[in-house]
Chains A and B, each alone.
Chain A
Amino acid sequence: MSGTDFSKKTGSQCAPEDIGTVINLVSKQKMEGMSEGEKIRFILDEVECGKILILEEGLTPQEQTKLIETTMSEIDTDTFIGIEMESYVQETERWWQKLLKLSNRPRMTVIGPAQKLKTVHKDSQVIQAVVISGKRE
């Protein structure tokens, strides 16, 4: 991942706040066409705009780690406190996947701004989250 500028903004269009919370369902095909750096920049630009993303095919653990690392470098105590990200545990690789060196594909993932999205329950089969309306005074 050398040479990727994570700080470069992609020019994401932020929706006006008074229309409510925007939720984007992002297809597998859209994410497949991006490099790791482009994915992370795309996600953070959208989330910093207040949008919630549901990725049809989520991020690899390495991409998730890089997303957390980049998020930390962009936290602003007054405007952006980080992300809420939820996905399921990776399934254990089966013997034929190990043999063919095919790793499990990332599972569906929801990512949003921590100010707006809060996970209230998560187990191996259900992720329950709430969208918080209004701003903290």
Chain B
Amino acid sequence: MGLVDRIKETTFGKWLSVSFGKKHVKIGIYGPPNAGKTTLANRIVRDWTGDIMGSASEIPHETRRARCKSDIVINNGGSTLTLDVIDTPGIATKIDFHDFVENYGMGEDEAKRRSKEATEGVIEAIRWLGDVDGVILVMDCAEDPFTQVNITILGNLEARKLPVLIAANKIDLENASPATIKSAFPQHPVVPVSALTGYNIEGLYGTMVRHFGRRRPKKRAGAAA
């Protein structure tokens, strides 16, 4: 065990941690398919480590297994926050292989395999909810925010008293309307951003450091998914 870890284990270290907030947090990136979760995860990981998280695609359910990058240190305005970032598969209530065949020209076998893997990905994403300290909920701000997936995820996080930050993504699109997201979910911080172009990504980092680094009451026991 290193010196820093030993200090953290002391009563004084624990008092410091409690008094000045958490500085190492596990953050899940959640949202419906095609909201830009992996693009955002790639942006965060690339900006602070030079690495990437995974491949992004216009075809829904490109990410079908959760991926994690640990110990990403974000500096913003003199404050730092160490993150473990989990990029999760998109959450959906239905997955129809015909969509992949008809809209993306996929063969039937490949489409069925993708559907099956996507269902497993949704289950994995939901199970990760029990193991994160906070969530970035990614919404496509050119789409209607009142989807059941958004409502269910937010309700679940509120019940668990987990901090959530809404990334109103795809602000670069012509019909983007982050104001609609803000008015739909006024109880949560909403940061307009373009993960693709990097627009306002510094604003997102600043909000992440403030929001996720804040001291919080312990997670409520039994608020399982």
Residues of A within 8 A of B (CB): 1, 60-62, 64-66, 68-69, 71-73, 75, 77, 81-90, 92, 103, 114, 119, 122-124, 136
Contact = CB atoms under 8 A, between A and B. Distances in A.
Given A82-B95, A89-B184, A124-B146, A64 B122 contact: no
A103 B94 contact: no
Contact of B156 (A62, A92, A114): A62
B79 interface: no
A75 B115 contact: yes
Contacts, number: 93
Interface string B132-167: 000000000000101110011111101100000000
B155 A64 contact: yes
Nearest to A81: B96
A88 B184 CA distance: 11
A73 B126 CA distance: 12
B69 interface: no
Given A61-B159, A62-B156, A124-B146, A71 B93 contact: yes
A92 B120 CA distance: 32
Contacts of A69: 122-123, 126-127, 225
B155 A90 contact: yes
Contacts of B91: 68
Given A69-B126, A114-B94, A87 B151 contact: yes
B179 interface: no
The 8 closest A-B pairs by CB, nearest first: A61-B155, A82-B94, A114-B94, A72-B119, A81-B96, A61-B156, A64-B152, A65-B225
B222 to A, nearest CB: 9
B24 interface: no
Nearest to B121: A72
B129 A72 contact: no
Contacts of B122: 68-69, 72
B144 A68 contact: no
A92 B158 CA distance: 10
5 contacts: A64-B156, A77-B116, A81-B94, A82-B92, A88-B151
Given A68-B91, A71-B93, A73-B119, A62 B225 contact: yes
Contacts of B123: 69, 72-73
B126 A68 contact: yes
Contacts of B11: none
